[in-house]
Amino acid sequence: MADINMQEQINEINRKLDLVLSEINTQRLKREEVTDLVDDLTIIGNDVFASTVKTLDKAGVELDYEALNSLLIRFVRNIGTFNGMFEMLESANDLMKDLTPIINQVGVDAIQKMTEFEEKGYFAFFGEAMKIMDNIVEHFTPEDVSALADNVVTMMETVKSMTQPDMLEAMNNGLLVYKSMETKNVKEYSMWKAFRAMNSPEMKRGLGFMITFMQKLSKTLSEGKSN
């Protein structure tokens, strides 16, 4: 029994030695391949260098070996920087690959939206609006625009007051009345007939409105002058 165990241990040791020897042989072959590759590259490099020197010599270019040596040293010293640059380029390339579908979709959406604006007439509208701007520029001077800027607050306050519901209703009623009136064949009134018409409740209310309006307007103008 002891002899069997001893033989198994010897066999296991032999198996492990075979693996170690195989690994050592593999590493040796790899070293030889690397050595051969280095030798081949050295030969090629020497040939390329010699050919380059001859070409430069024919072209009348003199090599500064000290500068070339300094350049090679700087290149080796900055290999880490070059690696970082290549990594950045690879990252940028990957980013562009990821963004390309998004950019394409944005372009398609933009084209569709521009087509939609064209169909709705936005471009034609803005083209005509530019004519309005041209007319404004032609008919108004920079001094007019400056005066407009000085009074724009007052104008906005006026517009704000005019757009109140009660003011809009009053102006609309006035326009409706004007549209319903006969403006070409206006009925003539004598002094007596006009006097009688002024005694009507409608005319009295109208005169009261006009007098009250004029009084308040005059008072507002007087207060404005005093300020």
Contact 189, 197 (CB under 8 A): yes
Local confidence band at 57 (pLDDT 50, 70, 90 cut-offs): low
- Reported as a single tens digit per residue, the pLDDT across 140-195 is 888 888 887 888 888 888 878 878 888 888 788 878 877 777 767 777 777 777 77
In the predicted structure, residue 225 carries a pLDDT above the cut 70: no
Of 157 and 7, which is predicted with more confidence? Answer: 157
Would 145 be classed as within a structural domain? no
pLDDT for the residue 61: 63
* Banded pLDDT at 64 (limits 50, 70, 90): low
Q: What is the pTM of this model?
A: 0.33
Q: What's the pLDDT at 53?
A: 67
Q: What is the pLDDT of residue 218?
A: 81
Please indicate, yes or no, if residue 132 is contained in any of the structural domains.
Answer: no
Q: Determine, yes or no, domain membership for 91.
A: no
**Residue 162 is encoded by which pair of tokens?**
């005019």
Tell me whether residue 28 is in a domain: yes
Is 35 a domain residue?
A: yes
- Taking only the tens place, the pLDDT of each residue in 77-88 is 787 787 888 888
pLDDT over 70 (residue 122): yes
Please tell me the total count of domains within the chain.
1
- Which residues span the domain enclosing 55? 1-59
Quick check: is 10 in a domain?
A: yes
pLDDT tens per residue across span 86-101? 888 888 888 888 888 8
Residue 1 has pLDDT above 60, yes or no: no
Would the pLDDT of 71 be above 80? no
Residue 39 lies in a domain: yes
Residue at 8 is within a domain? yes
